[in-house]
Structure 1
Amino acid sequence: MWVVKLGGSLCTDALLPDWLALLGQLGGGRVALVCGGGTLADEVRSLQGRWQVGDLSAHNMAVLAMVQNAYLLHGLNPALQPVCREVDVLPTLRRGGVALWMPLELLRDQCDATTNWDVTSDSIALGLAQRLNAERLVVIKSCQVDEQLSLEALVAHEVLDRNFAAQARQSGMPIDLLSREQGGEMKSLLLQGCRAH
């Protein structure tokens, strides 16, 4: 079982349908798909800055941005199967589907260690992968990803959120970072379980 995190910025990218078709065709029974908040989450940051609302409100708004984008993905590819509870991910995969996670369970009534901008959808996807004991996490970014850079360097370059590298070190699972143009790499991963070279 794999968790695939699709960057929210891809929700306005012409390649989005191709990515969804690939994951829908080859990810059945294996992939739990997580979508980032993208421009909707960017608007949350802007509104928080304008009105100075607390991190708890911003966190809940950003989680709902992820949910809205997941509905977009489902609208574009109805074969993706929405799941609102983590416990429903594995049963969906056992039925041969691609589980499209709607992270409503992450809405909070009180602040905790995750209700801040150090933890964005990248770390949220990694957390899901850890809780589900996934074999692999694949993070698909709209920007170029330099494969020579460490996770710490990618955090420093703001490709990944500030929490990601430390959390990844604890996970022990393989993590692949792909850019928007690397659909062929993703196809090789799904077919062979390894990176194409």
Structure 2
Amino acid sequence: MSNLTVLKIGGSFINQQNLKELKIIIKAIKTTNKHKLIIVTGGGQAADFVRGYDKKVQLKASSSHFAAVAAMELNAYMISDFFDDFSFFSTEFVFSKKINVFLGLDYYREIDPLPHSWNVSSDSIALELSQRLKADNLFLIKQRTMKNNLEIKSQSAADNKLIDSYFPKLYQELDGKLKTLIINTKSIKNLKILIENTEAEILNKALNLKRENFDLNILE
């Protein structure tokens, strides 16, 4: 599907402490034109609760997996409140709006494409969805990046806890070209540039402009 960008917004943004940063992300999304956007939310504090509970009572893998996906869906509803003109989607891939918010529970009940493991987070879920929809871009919006490293291997990102440990395996299986960036909120104001330019063009802009304007990593 052309002109499609998947934006995974880290669950850590969806809380009172990081509300200012979340509003910056929302503003950038609203001002982007000519491109359909799919928003995948992380589980954040709700997923942390599931993880902690799992450690205490040792849930079945499927129970913890679907509870964590439910945490993502909770945050999807929370973030949707910032938009007036948007659509939800799950198993029916119809995108009538520019902004589309992913609800994962029905998708995972019906398709269930990934292992039930804490090695799989919303990062891999966003990647699998990007693969299935043949998206042009996957942008993972994070609190941090690997500093001074514009181009990095997916395994390096996993080793540095930027993405989950299952992500590199899934990334190696990519069919075709998916431009994948890890973006700090400092760079989200450049969302339109990041969507519309190739990796090489982004590198040129990053070299010619101030580095802080492009606080991001490009996955090789």
Q: TM-score range by the shorter chain?
A: 0.7 to 0.9
**Identical positions, percent:** 24
Alignment of 1:180-195 (within 5 A): 180-190=185-195, 192=197, 195=202
Q: 1:67 to 1:28 in 2, by over 3 A?
A: farther
1:121-150, Cα deviation, whole Å (9 max, x unpaired): 000000000000111111111223333542
> Which one-letter code corresponds to 2:145 in the other structure?
Q
Where structure 1 has 5 or more consecutive residues not aligned to the other structure, the ranges are none
For residue 38 of structure 1, what is the aligned residue in structure 2?
44
Shift of 1:59: 0.5
Distance, in Å, in 2 between the alignment partners of 1:75 and 1:98 is 12
> Which one-letter code corresponds to 1:105 in the other structure?
D
Once the two structures are overlaid, the 10-residue window that deviates more, 148-157 or 113-122, is: 148-157
Given that 2:85 and 2:97 are in contact with CA atoms closer than 8 Å, whether structure 1 keeps it comes out as: no
For residue 69 of structure 1, what is the aligned residue in structure 2?
75
For residue 210 of structure 2, what is the aligned residue in structure 1?
none
> Which one-letter code corresponds to 1:123 in the other structure?
S
Residue 166 of structure 1 aligns to a residue in which SS? helix
Distance, in Å, in 2 between the alignment partners of 1:68 and 1:3 is 18
Q: 1:188 to 1:143 in 2, by over 3 A?
A: same
The answer to whether residue 159 in structure 2 is matched with residue 128 in structure 1 is no
Residue 139 of structure 2 aligns to a residue in which SS? strand
Distance, in Å, in 1 between the alignment partners of 2:23 and 2:101 is 15
For residue 49 of structure 1, what is the aligned residue in structure 2?
55
Q: 1:78 to 1:84 in 2, by over 3 A?
A: farther
Given that 2:61 and 2:116 are in contact with CA atoms closer than 8 Å, whether structure 1 keeps it comes out as: yes
The answer to whether residue 9 in structure 2 is matched with residue 3 in structure 1 is no
Question: Which of structures 1 and 2 has the bigger CA Rg?
Answer: 2
Shift of 1:187: 3.2
Where structure 2 has 5 or more consecutive residues not aligned to the other structure, the ranges are 207-220
Distance, in Å, in 1 between the alignment partners of 2:61 and 2:156 is 26
Distance, in Å, in 2 between the alignment partners of 1:186 and 1:16 is 14
Given that 1:6 and 1:33 are in contact with CA atoms closer than 8 Å, whether structure 2 keeps it comes out as: yes
> Which one-letter code corresponds to 2:27 in the other structure?
A
Distance, in Å, in 1 between the alignment partners of 2:135 and 2:128 is 10
For residue 184 of structure 2, what is the aligned residue in structure 1?
179
- TM-score for the superposition, normalised by structure 1: 0.86
For residue 139 of structure 1, what is the aligned residue in structure 2?
140
Distance, in Å, in 2 between the alignment partners of 1:30 and 1:5 is 14
Distance, in Å, in 2 between the alignment partners of 1:48 and 1:54 is 8
Given that 2:47 and 2:71 are in contact with CA atoms closer than 8 Å, whether structure 1 keeps it comes out as: yes
Q: 1:82 aligns with which of 85, 88, 93?
A: 88
Distance, in Å, in 1 between the alignment partners of 2:146 and 2:85 is 29
Shift of 1:25: 2.6
- TM-score for the superposition, normalised by structure 2: 0.78
Q: 1:166 to 1:51 in 2, by over 3 A?
A: same
Give me the CA root mean square deviation. Answer: 2.2
Distance, in Å, in 2 between the alignment partners of 1:191 and 1:113 is 30
For residue 167 of structure 2, what is the aligned residue in structure 1?
164
Q: 1:132 to 1:107 in 2, by over 3 A?
A: closer
